[in-house]
Protein backbone atom coordinates (compact mmCIF):
# COMPACT_ATOMS: atom_id res chain seq x y z
CA UNK A 1 0.00 0.00 0.00
CA UNK A 2 1.08 3.58 -0.44
CA UNK A 3 2.19 5.66 2.50
CA UNK A 4 -0.79 5.90 4.81
CA UNK A 5 0.13 9.03 6.63
CA UNK A 6 1.15 10.94 3.53
CA UNK A 7 -2.08 10.03 1.80
CA UNK A 8 -4.23 10.66 4.81
CA UNK A 9 -2.88 14.02 5.63
CA UNK A 10 -1.82 15.58 2.37
CA UNK A 11 -4.40 14.78 -0.23
CA UNK A 12 -4.15 17.97 -2.17
CA UNK A 13 -1.61 18.05 -4.92
CA UNK A 14 1.36 19.99 -3.73
CA UNK A 15 2.78 22.13 -6.42
CA UNK A 16 6.51 21.91 -6.40
CA UNK A 17 8.77 24.68 -7.50
CA UNK A 18 8.26 24.59 -11.22
CA UNK A 19 10.47 27.37 -12.44
CA UNK A 20 12.43 26.09 -15.36
CA UNK A 21 15.97 25.20 -14.52
CA UNK A 22 18.79 26.71 -16.45
CA UNK A 23 20.20 24.74 -19.34
CA UNK A 24 22.70 22.12 -18.24
CA UNK A 25 26.10 21.78 -19.71
CA UNK A 26 26.12 18.90 -22.19
CA UNK A 27 28.47 16.92 -19.94
CA UNK A 28 25.85 16.93 -17.17
CA UNK A 29 23.35 15.21 -19.43
CA UNK A 30 23.02 11.53 -20.28
CA UNK A 31 25.07 10.53 -23.30
CA UNK A 32 23.55 9.36 -26.54
CA UNK A 33 25.13 5.96 -25.84
CA UNK A 34 23.29 5.78 -22.51
CA UNK A 35 20.04 6.77 -24.17
CA UNK A 36 20.57 4.14 -26.86
CA UNK A 37 21.28 1.46 -24.27
CA UNK A 38 18.19 2.46 -22.30
CA UNK A 39 16.11 2.33 -25.45
CA UNK A 40 17.38 -1.18 -26.05
CA UNK A 41 16.46 -2.10 -22.46
CA UNK A 42 13.02 -0.64 -22.89
CA UNK A 43 12.35 -2.53 -26.10
CA UNK A 44 13.71 -5.78 -24.72
CA UNK A 45 11.50 -5.46 -21.64
CA UNK A 46 8.46 -4.84 -23.82
CA UNK A 47 9.30 -7.76 -26.10
CA UNK A 48 10.03 -10.12 -23.24
CA UNK A 49 7.00 -9.47 -21.04
CA UNK A 50 3.98 -9.87 -23.27
CA UNK A 51 2.40 -12.94 -21.73
CA UNK A 52 2.61 -15.47 -18.91
CA UNK A 53 6.15 -16.37 -19.95
CA UNK A 54 7.56 -12.96 -19.08
CA UNK A 55 10.03 -12.90 -16.20
CA UNK A 56 8.01 -10.42 -14.13
CA UNK A 57 4.83 -12.46 -14.46
CA UNK A 58 6.65 -15.72 -13.77
CA UNK A 59 8.12 -14.29 -10.57
CA UNK A 60 4.72 -13.03 -9.48
CA UNK A 61 3.10 -16.35 -10.25
CA UNK A 62 5.84 -18.16 -8.36
CA UNK A 63 5.58 -16.06 -5.21
CA UNK A 64 1.79 -16.22 -5.07
CA UNK A 65 1.58 -19.91 -5.95
CA UNK A 66 4.48 -21.31 -3.94
CA UNK A 67 4.16 -19.00 -0.93
CA UNK A 68 0.85 -17.12 -1.05
CA UNK A 69 -0.21 -14.97 1.91
CA UNK A 70 2.85 -13.82 3.87
CA UNK A 71 2.09 -11.65 6.83
CA UNK A 72 5.41 -10.43 8.23
CA UNK A 73 6.68 -12.67 10.98
CA UNK A 74 4.69 -15.73 9.95
CA UNK A 75 6.15 -18.92 8.46
CA UNK A 76 5.15 -18.13 4.86
CA UNK A 77 6.87 -14.74 5.11
CA UNK A 78 10.01 -16.55 6.27
CA UNK A 79 9.68 -18.82 3.24
CA UNK A 80 9.29 -15.72 1.08
CA UNK A 81 12.69 -14.48 2.27
CA UNK A 82 14.28 -17.74 1.11
CA UNK A 83 12.29 -17.49 -2.11
CA UNK A 84 13.61 -14.00 -2.82
CA UNK A 85 17.22 -14.95 -2.13
CA UNK A 86 16.92 -17.94 -4.46
CA UNK A 87 15.28 -15.91 -7.22
CA UNK A 88 17.86 -13.10 -7.09
CA UNK A 89 20.58 -15.71 -7.38
CA UNK A 90 18.87 -17.57 -10.20
CA UNK A 91 18.44 -14.30 -12.07
CA UNK A 92 22.18 -13.69 -11.99
CA UNK A 93 22.36 -10.76 -9.59
CA UNK A 94 25.96 -10.01 -8.65
CA UNK A 95 25.34 -9.88 -4.93
CA UNK A 96 22.44 -11.17 -2.84
CA UNK A 97 22.11 -10.47 0.87
CA UNK A 98 19.66 -9.73 3.65
CA UNK A 99 19.35 -7.02 6.23
CA UNK A 100 17.36 -7.54 9.45
CA UNK A 101 14.01 -5.87 10.10
CA UNK A 102 12.34 -5.91 13.51
CA UNK A 103 8.66 -5.23 13.92
CA UNK A 104 5.71 -6.02 16.18
CA UNK A 105 4.25 -9.40 15.27
CA UNK A 106 0.49 -9.41 14.84
CA UNK A 107 -1.71 -12.33 13.91
CA UNK A 108 -5.34 -12.82 13.01
CA UNK A 109 -7.47 -15.64 14.39
CA UNK A 110 -11.15 -16.19 13.80
CA UNK A 111 -13.31 -13.16 13.20
CA UNK A 112 -17.08 -13.08 13.30
CA UNK A 113 -19.74 -10.46 13.44
CA UNK A 114 -23.49 -10.45 13.26
CA UNK A 115 -26.51 -8.29 13.78
CA UNK A 116 -28.20 -9.57 16.92
CA UNK A 117 -31.34 -7.47 16.59
CA UNK A 118 -33.70 -6.40 15.13
CA UNK A 119 -32.73 -8.32 11.97
CA UNK A 120 -30.39 -11.20 12.80
CA UNK A 121 -27.85 -11.58 10.01
CA UNK A 122 -24.20 -12.45 9.65
CA UNK A 123 -21.81 -9.64 8.76
CA UNK A 124 -18.58 -10.10 6.87
CA UNK A 125 -15.77 -8.33 8.71
CA UNK A 126 -12.02 -8.39 8.97
CA UNK A 127 -9.94 -7.10 11.85
CA UNK A 128 -7.87 -4.04 11.07
CA UNK A 129 -4.15 -4.70 11.17
CA UNK A 130 -2.76 -4.62 14.72
CA UNK A 131 -6.20 -4.33 16.29
CA UNK A 132 -6.54 -5.74 19.77
CA UNK A 133 -8.96 -8.66 20.02
CA UNK A 134 -12.39 -8.57 21.62
CA UNK A 135 -11.47 -11.15 24.26
CA UNK A 136 -14.62 -13.12 23.43
CA UNK A 137 -17.75 -11.76 21.75
CA UNK A 138 -18.81 -8.26 22.66
CA UNK A 139 -22.12 -6.63 21.91
CA UNK A 140 -23.23 -3.06 21.52
CA UNK A 141 -25.73 -0.86 19.77
CA UNK A 142 -24.27 0.75 16.70
CA UNK A 143 -23.92 4.50 16.23
CA UNK A 144 -23.29 5.51 12.63
CA UNK A 145 -21.04 8.41 11.61
CA UNK A 146 -20.83 9.75 8.09
CA UNK A 147 -17.06 10.13 8.25
CA UNK A 148 -14.04 10.35 10.52
CA UNK A 149 -14.56 14.05 11.19
CA UNK A 150 -18.07 13.36 12.48
CA UNK A 151 -16.73 10.69 14.82
CA UNK A 152 -13.93 12.96 15.99
CA UNK A 153 -16.58 15.52 16.95
CA UNK A 154 -18.33 13.04 19.27
CA UNK A 155 -18.16 14.14 22.90
CA UNK A 156 -16.31 12.05 25.50
CA UNK A 157 -18.72 9.60 27.08
CA UNK A 158 -21.25 9.99 24.28
CA UNK A 159 -20.46 6.50 22.95
CA UNK A 160 -20.16 4.66 26.26
CA UNK A 161 -21.08 1.04 25.68
CA UNK A 162 -21.65 1.61 21.96
CA UNK A 163 -20.01 0.37 18.81
CA UNK A 164 -19.06 3.29 16.59
CA UNK A 165 -19.44 2.83 12.82
CA UNK A 166 -18.02 5.02 10.07
CA UNK A 167 -19.95 4.53 6.84
CA UNK A 168 -17.99 6.81 4.49
CA UNK A 169 -17.34 5.22 1.11
CA UNK A 170 -14.06 5.54 -0.75
CA UNK A 171 -14.28 7.06 -4.24
CA UNK A 172 -12.64 5.68 -7.38
CA UNK A 173 -9.99 7.73 -9.21
CA UNK A 174 -7.28 6.82 -11.69
CA UNK A 175 -4.53 7.98 -9.36
CA UNK A 176 -6.12 6.32 -6.33
CA UNK A 177 -6.35 9.53 -4.33
CA UNK A 178 -9.72 8.46 -2.96
CA UNK A 179 -7.70 6.20 -0.69
CA UNK A 180 -6.08 9.16 0.94
CA UNK A 181 -9.46 10.78 1.50
CA UNK A 182 -10.90 7.64 3.09
CA UNK A 183 -8.10 5.88 4.90
CA UNK A 184 -8.07 8.20 7.90
CA UNK A 185 -11.17 6.36 9.14
CA UNK A 186 -9.12 3.19 9.34
CA UNK A 187 -6.00 4.76 10.78
CA UNK A 188 -7.41 7.23 13.26
CA UNK A 189 -11.00 6.02 13.72
CA UNK A 190 -10.22 3.51 16.48
CA UNK A 191 -8.77 6.07 18.87
CA UNK A 192 -11.39 8.66 17.93
CA UNK A 193 -14.08 6.13 18.84
CA UNK A 194 -12.30 5.20 22.07
CA UNK A 195 -12.04 8.86 23.10
CA UNK A 196 -15.83 9.10 22.92
CA UNK A 197 -16.18 5.94 25.00
CA UNK A 198 -16.97 3.34 22.30
CA UNK A 199 -16.14 -0.28 23.05
CA UNK A 200 -15.32 -1.09 19.41
CA UNK A 201 -15.16 0.47 15.98
CA UNK A 202 -16.54 -0.78 12.69
CA UNK A 203 -15.67 0.97 9.46
CA UNK A 204 -16.86 0.56 5.91
CA UNK A 205 -13.97 -1.07 4.07
CA UNK A 206 -11.53 1.34 2.48
CA UNK A 207 -12.13 0.05 -1.04
CA UNK A 208 -13.98 0.86 -4.24
CA UNK A 209 -15.54 -2.57 -4.86
CA UNK A 210 -18.94 -4.15 -4.35
CA UNK A 211 -17.62 -7.48 -3.13
CA UNK A 212 -18.58 -9.18 0.09
CA UNK A 213 -14.93 -9.26 1.11
CA UNK A 214 -13.63 -6.87 3.73
CA UNK A 215 -10.44 -4.81 3.35
CA UNK A 216 -7.90 -5.02 6.13
CA UNK A 217 -4.99 -2.62 6.66
CA UNK A 218 -3.20 -0.84 9.47
CA UNK A 219 -4.78 1.18 12.19
CA UNK A 220 -2.83 3.73 14.19
CA UNK A 221 -3.72 3.82 17.87
CA UNK A 222 -3.06 7.19 19.49
CA UNK A 223 -0.82 7.18 22.54
CA UNK A 224 -2.63 7.44 25.86
CA UNK A 225 -6.00 6.36 24.48
CA UNK A 226 -7.47 2.93 25.31
CA UNK A 227 -7.00 0.48 22.47
CA UNK A 228 -10.38 -0.83 21.31
CA UNK A 229 -11.00 -3.58 18.74
CA UNK A 230 -11.60 -2.38 15.20
CA UNK A 231 -12.77 -4.14 12.07
CA UNK A 232 -13.84 -3.35 8.54
CA UNK A 233 -17.16 -4.44 7.06
CA UNK A 234 -17.27 -5.38 3.40
CA UNK A 235 -18.98 -2.73 1.29
CA UNK A 236 -22.19 -4.79 0.91
CA UNK A 237 -22.25 -5.39 4.66
CA UNK A 238 -21.75 -1.71 5.33
CA UNK A 239 -24.71 -1.01 3.04
CA UNK A 240 -26.72 -3.60 4.94
CA UNK A 241 -25.89 -2.14 8.33
CA UNK A 242 -26.69 1.40 7.16
CA UNK A 243 -30.01 0.22 5.71
CA UNK A 244 -30.91 -1.34 9.05
CA UNK A 245 -29.88 1.75 11.02
CA UNK A 246 -31.92 3.95 8.68
CA UNK A 247 -35.08 2.19 9.91
CA UNK A 248 -34.65 4.01 13.23
CA UNK A 249 -34.59 1.12 15.71
CA UNK A 250 -31.47 0.32 17.75
CA UNK A 251 -29.26 -2.08 15.83
CA UNK A 252 -27.29 -4.39 18.10
CA UNK A 253 -24.16 -6.04 16.77
CA UNK A 254 -21.97 -8.82 18.13
CA UNK A 255 -18.27 -8.75 17.32
CA UNK A 256 -15.73 -11.47 18.01
CA UNK A 257 -12.13 -10.85 16.92
CA UNK A 258 -9.35 -13.17 17.94
CA UNK A 259 -6.30 -11.16 16.97
CA UNK A 260 -3.48 -9.28 18.57
CA UNK A 261 0.19 -8.50 18.88
CA UNK A 262 2.73 -10.99 20.14
CA UNK A 263 5.90 -9.05 20.91
CA UNK A 264 8.61 -8.28 18.41
CA UNK A 265 9.73 -10.44 15.51
CA UNK A 266 12.69 -10.22 13.18
CA UNK A 267 12.73 -10.92 9.48
CA UNK A 268 14.71 -9.57 6.55
CA UNK A 269 14.83 -7.21 3.63
CA UNK A 270 16.26 -9.19 0.73
CA UNK A 271 18.55 -7.27 -1.59
CA UNK A 272 19.94 -8.13 -4.99
CA UNK A 273 22.57 -5.94 -6.58
CA UNK A 274 23.83 -5.33 -10.08
CA UNK A 275 27.25 -4.04 -9.19
CA UNK A 276 28.25 -0.69 -10.67
CA UNK A 277 31.49 0.17 -12.41
CA UNK A 278 33.28 3.48 -11.77
CA UNK A 279 30.65 4.76 -9.31
CA UNK A 280 29.86 1.43 -7.67
CA UNK A 281 29.77 2.92 -4.15
CA UNK A 282 26.75 4.95 -5.20
CA UNK A 283 23.41 3.21 -5.49
CA UNK A 284 20.10 3.44 -7.22
CA UNK A 285 17.33 1.58 -5.35
CA UNK A 286 14.18 0.16 -6.81
CA UNK A 287 12.02 -2.55 -5.30
CA UNK A 288 8.74 -3.73 -3.92
CA UNK A 289 7.69 -5.35 -0.69
CA UNK A 290 7.84 -9.02 0.06
CA UNK A 291 5.27 -9.22 2.84
CA UNK A 292 1.52 -9.08 2.24
CA UNK A 293 -1.69 -8.97 4.14
CA UNK A 294 -3.17 -12.37 4.85
CA UNK A 295 -6.61 -12.63 3.22
CA UNK A 296 -5.28 -12.91 -0.36
CA UNK A 297 -2.10 -14.21 -1.90
CA UNK A 298 -0.58 -10.73 -2.10
CA UNK A 299 -0.40 -10.67 -5.89
CA UNK A 300 -1.02 -6.99 -6.59
CA UNK A 301 0.28 -5.98 -3.16
CA UNK A 302 3.02 -6.57 -3.76
CA UNK A 303 4.31 -9.73 -5.42
CA UNK A 304 4.01 -7.91 -8.71
CA UNK A 305 6.13 -4.99 -7.50
CA UNK A 306 8.82 -7.43 -6.43
CA UNK A 307 8.50 -9.27 -9.75
CA UNK A 308 8.65 -6.12 -11.89
CA UNK A 309 11.69 -4.66 -10.18
CA UNK A 310 13.52 -8.01 -9.93
CA UNK A 311 12.90 -8.49 -13.65
CA UNK A 312 14.06 -4.95 -14.43
CA UNK A 313 17.37 -5.47 -12.66
CA UNK A 314 17.79 -8.89 -14.22
CA UNK A 315 17.28 -7.47 -17.69
CA UNK A 316 20.10 -4.96 -17.20
CA UNK A 317 22.29 -7.89 -16.21
CA UNK A 318 21.09 -10.04 -19.10
CA UNK A 319 21.89 -7.32 -21.65
CA UNK A 320 25.38 -6.98 -20.14
CA UNK A 321 24.77 -3.29 -19.46
CA UNK A 322 26.97 -2.87 -16.44
CA UNK A 323 25.78 0.39 -14.88
CA UNK A 324 28.13 3.03 -13.49
CA UNK A 325 26.35 3.11 -10.15
CA UNK A 326 25.22 -0.03 -8.33
CA UNK A 327 21.56 -0.92 -8.84
CA UNK A 328 20.00 -2.33 -5.71
CA UNK A 329 16.68 -4.14 -5.98
CA UNK A 330 15.14 -4.35 -2.53
CA UNK A 331 12.37 -6.76 -1.54
CA UNK A 332 11.29 -5.02 1.64
CA UNK A 333 9.88 -6.95 4.59
CA UNK A 334 6.89 -5.66 6.53
CA UNK A 335 5.81 -2.68 4.57
CA UNK A 336 2.23 -3.36 5.54
CA UNK A 337 2.31 -2.78 9.26
CA UNK A 338 4.13 0.51 9.12
CA UNK A 339 6.95 0.48 6.63
CA UNK A 340 9.33 -1.34 8.95
CA UNK A 341 11.40 -2.65 6.06
CA UNK A 342 11.93 0.81 4.66
CA UNK A 343 12.73 2.19 8.10
CA UNK A 344 15.22 -0.58 8.77
CA UNK A 345 16.91 0.14 5.46
CA UNK A 346 17.01 3.87 6.22
CA UNK A 347 18.44 3.28 9.66
CA UNK A 348 21.08 0.90 8.36
CA UNK A 349 22.05 3.30 5.57
CA UNK A 350 21.48 6.62 7.31
CA UNK A 351 25.07 7.65 6.83
CA UNK A 352 24.93 6.89 3.10
CA UNK A 353 22.15 9.17 1.97
CA UNK A 354 24.48 11.05 -0.35
CA UNK A 355 25.55 7.76 -1.91
CA UNK A 356 21.93 7.08 -2.88
CA UNK A 357 21.34 8.57 -6.29
CA UNK A 358 17.58 7.95 -6.20
CA UNK A 359 15.00 5.55 -4.77
CA UNK A 360 11.70 4.26 -6.16
CA UNK A 361 9.22 1.50 -5.36
CA UNK A 362 6.58 -0.38 -7.32
CA UNK A 363 3.66 -0.72 -4.90
CA UNK A 364 0.42 0.22 -6.61
CA UNK A 365 -0.54 -3.03 -8.27
CA UNK A 366 -0.25 -4.05 -11.89
CA UNK A 367 -1.95 -1.23 -13.75
CA UNK A 368 0.02 0.47 -16.50
CA UNK A 369 2.29 3.42 -15.67
CA UNK A 370 1.13 6.77 -17.02
CA UNK A 371 3.32 9.36 -15.32
CA UNK A 372 6.87 9.85 -14.12
CA UNK A 373 7.29 12.09 -11.11
CA UNK A 374 10.55 12.81 -9.36
CA UNK A 375 11.95 14.68 -6.40
CA UNK A 376 15.43 15.76 -7.47
CA UNK A 377 17.34 18.98 -7.24
CA UNK A 378 16.30 21.52 -9.80
CA UNK A 379 19.51 21.33 -11.78
CA UNK A 380 19.02 17.57 -12.26
CA UNK A 381 15.55 17.90 -13.72
CA UNK A 382 16.77 17.96 -17.35
CA UNK A 383 18.18 14.46 -16.79
CA UNK A 384 14.78 13.33 -15.50
CA UNK A 385 13.32 14.78 -18.68
CA UNK A 386 15.83 12.75 -20.71
CA UNK A 387 14.64 9.64 -18.87
CA UNK A 388 11.08 10.74 -19.56
CA UNK A 389 11.82 10.96 -23.27
CA UNK A 390 12.82 7.31 -23.32
CA UNK A 391 9.63 6.45 -21.41
CA UNK A 392 7.32 8.63 -23.52
CA UNK A 393 6.68 5.96 -26.19
CA UNK A 394 5.34 3.76 -23.35
CA UNK A 395 2.56 6.29 -22.75
CA UNK A 396 4.33 7.80 -19.74
CA UNK A 397 4.23 11.57 -19.29
CA UNK A 398 6.88 13.37 -17.26
CA UNK A 399 5.20 15.57 -14.66
CA UNK A 400 7.10 17.99 -12.48
CA UNK A 401 4.50 18.38 -9.74
CA UNK A 402 3.19 16.00 -7.12
CA UNK A 403 4.14 12.40 -6.60
CA UNK A 404 5.92 10.40 -3.95
CA UNK A 405 8.32 7.52 -3.67
CA UNK A 406 6.18 5.10 -1.68
CA UNK A 407 6.06 3.81 1.87
CA UNK A 408 9.41 2.01 1.88
CA UNK A 409 11.74 4.53 0.22
CA UNK A 410 9.98 7.33 2.11
CA UNK A 411 12.11 6.63 5.17
CA UNK A 412 15.23 7.42 3.15
CA UNK A 413 13.49 10.30 1.41
CA UNK A 414 12.85 11.77 4.85
CA UNK A 415 16.62 11.73 5.32
CA UNK A 416 17.14 13.57 2.05
CA UNK A 417 17.26 10.90 -0.67
CA UNK A 418 16.09 11.90 -4.14
CA UNK A 419 13.11 9.89 -5.33
CA UNK A 420 11.05 8.94 -8.35
CA UNK A 421 7.55 7.64 -8.82
CA UNK A 422 6.35 5.70 -11.84
CA UNK A 423 2.66 6.33 -11.27
CA UNK A 424 0.36 3.50 -12.22
CA UNK A 425 -3.26 3.43 -13.26
CA UNK A 426 -4.91 2.56 -9.95
CA UNK A 427 -8.51 2.69 -11.20
CA UNK A 428 -9.22 -0.87 -10.09
CA UNK A 429 -6.45 -1.37 -7.54
CA UNK A 430 -8.61 -0.50 -4.56
CA UNK A 431 -11.26 -3.00 -5.56
CA UNK A 432 -8.91 -5.77 -4.45
CA UNK A 433 -6.37 -4.11 -2.15
CA UNK A 434 -5.95 -5.82 1.24
CA UNK A 435 -8.72 -8.35 0.54
CA UNK A 436 -8.95 -12.03 -0.31
CA UNK A 437 -9.35 -10.82 -3.88
CA UNK A 438 -5.68 -9.85 -4.08
CA UNK A 439 -4.87 -12.84 -6.28
CA UNK A 440 -2.91 -13.56 -9.43
CA UNK A 441 -5.87 -13.33 -11.80
CA UNK A 442 -6.03 -9.56 -11.21
CA UNK A 443 -2.77 -9.17 -13.11
CA UNK A 444 -2.75 -8.79 -16.88
CA UNK A 445 0.52 -10.36 -18.04
CA UNK A 446 0.72 -8.04 -21.07
CA UNK A 447 0.65 -4.99 -18.80
CA UNK A 448 3.93 -5.91 -17.16
CA UNK A 449 6.28 -5.29 -20.09
CA UNK A 450 5.73 -1.57 -19.86
CA UNK A 451 6.43 -1.58 -16.15
CA UNK A 452 9.58 -3.66 -16.37
CA UNK A 453 10.71 -1.34 -19.15
CA UNK A 454 10.04 1.76 -17.08
CA UNK A 455 11.87 0.53 -13.99
CA UNK A 456 14.79 -0.77 -16.05
CA UNK A 457 15.13 2.56 -17.87
CA UNK A 458 14.75 4.60 -14.69
CA UNK A 459 17.27 2.50 -12.78
CA UNK A 460 19.79 2.28 -15.59
CA UNK A 461 19.75 5.91 -16.61
CA UNK A 462 19.79 7.10 -12.99
CA UNK A 463 22.88 4.93 -12.56
CA UNK A 464 24.47 6.44 -15.67
CA UNK A 465 23.74 10.10 -14.97
CA UNK A 466 26.97 12.13 -14.86
CA UNK A 467 25.86 14.15 -11.85
CA UNK A 468 24.06 13.66 -8.57
CA UNK A 469 20.26 13.98 -8.36
CA UNK A 470 20.74 15.90 -5.16
CA UNK A 471 20.43 13.34 -2.36
CA UNK A 472 21.68 14.90 0.82
CA UNK A 473 21.54 18.39 -0.73
CA UNK A 474 18.73 20.58 0.51
CA UNK A 475 16.19 21.61 -0.57
CA UNK A 476 14.83 18.74 -2.64
CA UNK A 477 11.20 18.69 -3.70
CA UNK A 478 9.20 16.92 -1.01
CA UNK A 479 6.72 14.18 -1.92
CA UNK A 480 3.28 15.70 -2.35
CA UNK A 481 0.17 13.80 -3.34
Q: Please report, as ranges, the residues that interact with a second copy according to CB under 8 A.
A: 61, 64-69, 76, 119-122, 124, 210-213, 235-236, 239-240, 243-244, 247, 295-297, 435-437, 439-442
Least distance (Å) between residue 368 CB and a second copy: 19
Closer residue to a second copy, CB minimum distance, 239 or 385? 239
Least distance (Å) between residue 260 CB and a second copy: 20
Q: How would you classify the pairing of strands 356-359 and 279-289?
A: parallel
Closer residue to a second copy, CB minimum distance, 235 or 386? 235
Least distance (Å) between residue 62 CB and a second copy: 9
Closer residue to a second copy, CB minimum distance, 251 or 454? 251
Least distance (Å) between residue 432 CB and a second copy: 9
Least distance (Å) between residue 208 CB and a second copy: 12
Least distance (Å) between residue 210 CB and a second copy: 5
Least distance (Å) between residue 437 CB and a second copy: 5
Closer residue to a second copy, CB minimum distance, 101 or 257? 257
Beta carbons within 8 Å of 31's beta carbon, 6+ residues apart: 464
Least distance (Å) between residue 142 CB and a second copy: 14
| Long-range contact set of residues 411-415: C-beta below 8 Å, sequence gap at least 24 | 411/339, 411/342, 411/343, 411/345, 411/346, 411/347, 412/285, 412/342, 412/345, 412/346, 412/349, 412/353, 412/356, 412/359, 413/359, 413/375, 413/479, 414/346, 415/346, 415/350, 415/353
Closer residue to a second copy, CB minimum distance, 14 or 427? 427
Least distance (Å) between residue 442 CB and a second copy: 7
Least distance (Å) between residue 242 CB and a second copy: 10
Closer residue to a second copy, CB minimum distance, 238 or 344? 238
299 vs 53, 80, 90, 146, 170, CA distance in Å?
A: 17, 13, 21, 32, 22
Closer residue to a second copy, CB minimum distance, 54 or 406? 54
Contact 384, 376 (CB under 8 A): yes
Closer residue to a second copy, CB minimum distance, 90 or 348? 90
Least distance (Å) between residue 338 CB and a second copy: 25
Least distance (Å) between residue 76 CB and a second copy: 7
Closer residue to a second copy, CB minimum distance, 108 or 325? 108
Q: Is 107 exposed, middle or buried (0-12, 13-18, 19+ CB in 10 A)?
A: middle
Whether omega for the bond prior to residue 118 falls within 30 degrees of 0, making it cis, is: yes
Closer residue to a second copy, CB minimum distance, 427 or 439? 439
Closer residue to a second copy, CB minimum distance, 284 or 443? 443
- Euclidean distance between the first and the last CA atom of the chain, given in angstroms as a whole number: 14
Closer residue to a second copy, CB minimum distance, 235 or 309? 235
Contact 229, 112 (CB under 8 A): no
Amino acid sequence: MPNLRTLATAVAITLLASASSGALAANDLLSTQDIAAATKLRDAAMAGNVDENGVAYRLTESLTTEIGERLAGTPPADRAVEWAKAKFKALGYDKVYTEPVSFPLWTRGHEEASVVSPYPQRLVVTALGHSVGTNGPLQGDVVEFADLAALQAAKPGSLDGKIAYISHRMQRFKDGHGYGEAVGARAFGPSAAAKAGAKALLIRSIGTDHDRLAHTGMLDYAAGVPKIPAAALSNPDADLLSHMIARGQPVRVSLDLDCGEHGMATSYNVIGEITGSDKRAQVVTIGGHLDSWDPGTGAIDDAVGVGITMAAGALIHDLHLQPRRTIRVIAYMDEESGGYGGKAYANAHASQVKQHQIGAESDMGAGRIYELHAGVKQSAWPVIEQIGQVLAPLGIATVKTGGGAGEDPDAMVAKGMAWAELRQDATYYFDWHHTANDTLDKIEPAALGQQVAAYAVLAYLSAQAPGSFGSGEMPLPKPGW
